[in-house]
Amino acid sequence: MNPFYEQIYGIVEQIPYGKVVSYSQIARMLGRPRAEREVGRAMRCCPDGLPWQRVVMKDGTITGGFYADMRRAILETEDITFLPDGRVDMDLCRWQCERFFNTECQQKERPPVG
The whole-number pLDDT of residue 109 equals: 44
Q: For the stretch 14-40, what's the b/e string if a residue is b when 16 or more beta carbons lie within 10 angstroms of its beta carbon?
A: ebeeebbbbbbbbbbbbeeeebbebbb
Per residue of the chain (114 residues), give pLDDT as tens.
799 999 999 999 999 999 999 999 999 999 999 999 999 999 999 999 999 999 999 999 998 888 899 999 999 999 999 999 999 999 999 998 766 565 444 444 444 444
User: Domain of 23: which CATH number?
Assistant: 1.10.10.10
| Residue 111 included in any domain | no
Q: Is residue 91 part of a domain?
A: yes
Q: Residue 59: inside a domain, yes or no?
A: yes
- pLDDT, residue 101, reads 60
* Model pLDDT, residue 66: 84
How many domains are contained in the chain? 1
What is the 8-class DSSP label of residue 33?
T
* Residue 113 lies inside a defined structural domain of this protein: no
For residue 83, the enclosing domain spans 3-103
Residue 108 belongs to some domain of the structure = no
Is residue 109 in some structural domain?
no
In a domain, 62, yes or no: yes
